[in-house]
A = this chain, B = another copy of it.
């Protein structure tokens, strides 16, 4: 099996000196990569600029990802060659379109004009007391994966903040269907500490709980193997 893993966070540039970053250390993605390497699989890791990285390994390829457009190009390249895709990266939901001072926006008769503008300056001026930034949704990469390769084993991730177990499972189930994922690892920022990482691996039929990053990583290795076998047994019938 060839395993494609994303880790860390993306940063969408506002201008040449500023950007919107998704906070993510990449430590779970790093550990998942290491456990697959230990089990003798080939791993391709698409890692955010600040992500912690595994030590070099003959079966490991690392590609650095800055923004969503990088990630889009990298998945288009690697997904067709992969058997398992584990999308643990914190991807920017929105990317800046245009930023200007508040008074200009307040004086406009139709705010839609700002959705088609672009900043041409290298560094946006910082004189006004208030500024307004217009942002647009980035493409949802995970929803395209099964179209690129129908029999890839697909793991999505959902990070919520301070919700109930029932909400976590409901959000994960909805992501499963929407993205045709095989599994969604649902976790809650309020339940992640240095030593603990509570997560629920949700599939159509089951919910399996894990309590540390290592348990999560090993669960993902095991489920990847099982589901890969299932897909390939079916395939050869």
**A residues within 8 Å of B by Cβ?**
11, 14, 16-23, 50, 90, 92-94, 97, 102, 105-106, 111-112, 115, 122-123, 126, 128-137, 159-162, 189
Contact = CB atoms under 8 A, between A and B. Distances in A.
Chain A to chain B: the 10 pairs with minimum beta-carbon distance, closest first: A122-B161, A93-B126, A133-B133, A21-B21, A131-B135, A123-B161, A106-B111, A129-B137, A130-B136, A16-B161
Nearest to A16: B161
B189 A17 contact: yes
A111 B122 contact: no
A126 B50 CA distance: 24
A115 B128 CA distance: 13
Given A19-B21, A161-B16, A137 B130 contact: yes
A115 B106 CA distance: 12
B102 A111 contact: yes
A191 to B, nearest CB: 13
Which of A106, A130, A189 has the largest count of B CB atoms less than 10 A from its CB?
A: A130
B102 A106 contact: no
B130 A132 contact: no
A51 to B, nearest CB: 12
A212 B64 CA distance: 28
11 contacts: A16-B161, A17-B22, A18-B92, A19-B20, A20-B20, A21-B21, A94-B131, A102-B115, A123-B189, A132-B132, A132-B134
Nearest to A126: B93
Contacts of A137: 126, 128-131
B16 A22 contact: no
A134 B18 contact: no
Contacts of A189: 16-17, 122-123
A212 to B, nearest CB: 21
Contacts of A115: 102, 130
Contact of A122 (B93, B102, B162): B162
A18 B14 contact: no
B94 A126 contact: yes
Nearest to A132: B134
